[in-house]
Amino acid sequence: MELFRYKRSFKKALLWAALAILFIYRNRASIAYPFFMASTLAIIAWDAKTMGKSLIRNIEGKIDIKLFYCISLMLLSIDKCLTASSGILFGDGLGILLLFSCLLLKLYSNQEDKEITTMLIKLADFFVVPLANIAKPFIDASAARQARSMATLGADQTLEESKSKKTFKSVIIGLLIAIPLLWIIIALLASADLVFGKMVKDILSCIKFPKIDEDWIGVPFKFFLSFLAFYTWIACLPAENFYEKKEGRRFDATVAITFNSLIAFVYLLFSGIQFVYLVGQMELPSGYTYAEYAHEGFYQLLAVTILNLMLVSFCKKHFADNKILKAILVIISLCTYVMIASSVLRMYLYVKVYGLSHLRVYVLWLLVVLTVWTTILITGIFKEGIHYFRIITVFVTVWYLILAFSFPDRWIVSYDLSLSNPPSDIRYVDYPDAADIVYEYGDEDIWHTYTIYTSDTITEYRKKNILERAREFNFSEDAGINIIDQ
């Protein structure tokens, strides 16, 4: 087994680690990233073929979800070189990590569950695999080396080779002992005799010691971690034991009916208030504006919405089927719609007064995800066998790609600058994809502040040689620098 793993995975892991250093070491938002991802998928396809598997097809030869993962990974990688927005780059990186994990789990271990919670546990286990198998590359390499020597050498030759290795090790140990001793002795003798000291100084001045910087540590460390992660994933995933969902005993539905009835009553009361004050625009308590009212409880409401979704999922999974319980869960889900709508309306009122920002856009994006999730849960109450995880994964990925490729920086800044009183607290430098919008529609003070904050970036950019610029080229960053240079 060790020899098989070594032959199959060792060189591929070394190749992947080298590509990681070449393409993405200290360079995670450039044109090199799509090339790195394409190379990664090519290596995985090559490895899968040696095991009789396909990167995009199932065991029946049909296209399956793995193709969607591959396409999404390439699109996210392409977006990394098109944007310089920190929020979108973070989302791209998180999406790549999660989708890559799902791809490897499906390809090597055929791990994909309908339940979201079960899949989250399996994804957590996936990241433990490198730690659990951290010694496997070295054990496999040692086993392969022993097998090779036994196959090619006789007993006498093996004994002779072992003696030569022992001698070599002894010499290395002697050198390691000599170096610090010589350092001390030469330093003492040089200080004791001026002629000897001058000779030592002249010799040392002729030796050009390399300048030590963080890359001397970072490159080997990154290479080692990349090698270890790739080897353990592709070599050990097929034999890894993952959490398997067990059909446990379902609890009495009366328990769920009792506590859900009380929760549903509170939600119905709360939903009525939303209609009265937000939709009906009735008079608020003194001292409140609609913008303040809308913003004050927004995040609490968002938390309750997510709690509702978890509650409905838990009750459906762990309590016995019951028509009354289903009806109450539907009421809670419908109230969740009201809470989502209230959240959207609150955010709309707040944006009208204070403008857009990254966080406000991301929250609105999340509310759409929660709406779809609620719809899927309502459907699942009446229909069994829905693949929750796959539906949510596909929707969230596509919805995120739409957000990312729409370049939210541009329309956030466009909207804010179109207001009669643009927000005074916005830092336009935090919206690097919108440099041309700031230049065209912002006033002179805004543009002056923007150029001051980006001066360090431009200085660093100009220090790069042509190879560094080619490797680290980012379309958004380059466009912004060109506008400022003009």
Residue 446 — very low, low, confident or very high, per pLDDT cuts 50/70/90? Answer: confident
Cα separation of 410 and 440, whole Å?
A: 12
The pLDDT of residue 248 is above 70: no
**pLDDT above 90: percentage of residues in the chain:** 25
The pLDDT of residue 398 is above 90: yes
Size of the chain, expressed as the number of residues it contains: 486
Segments in 110-213 forming alpha helices (H): 116-126, 129-132, 136-152, 155-192, 194-206
Tell which wins on pLDDT, 417 or 19: 19
Per-residue pLDDT of 351-375, as tens digits, reads: 887 888 888 899 899 889 989 988 9
User: What pLDDT does 408 receive?
Assistant: 95
Q: Is 250 left (phi over 0), alpha (psi -120 to 50) or beta?
A: beta
Please list, in sequence order, all residues whose beta carbon lies within 8 angstroms of the beta carbon of residue 202, skipping any fewer than 6 positions away: none
- Closest to 23 in 3D by CA, of 89, 86, 97, 80: 80
* Whole-prediction pTM: 0.82
Per-residue pLDDT of 252-306, as tens digits, reads: 888 888 888 998 898 888 888 777 765 555 555 566 665 565 556 667 777 888 8
Cα separation of 307 and 316, whole Å?
A: 14
Mean pLDDT computed over 451-476: 83
Q: Tell me which of 11-15, 26-30, 166-170, 316-320 is least confident.
A: 166-170
Answer for the pair 470, 76: CB distance below 8 angstroms, yes or no. Answer: no
List the helix and strand counts (H, then E) for the chain: 22, 0
Instruction: Considering only CA atoms, give the Rg of the chain.
Output: 31
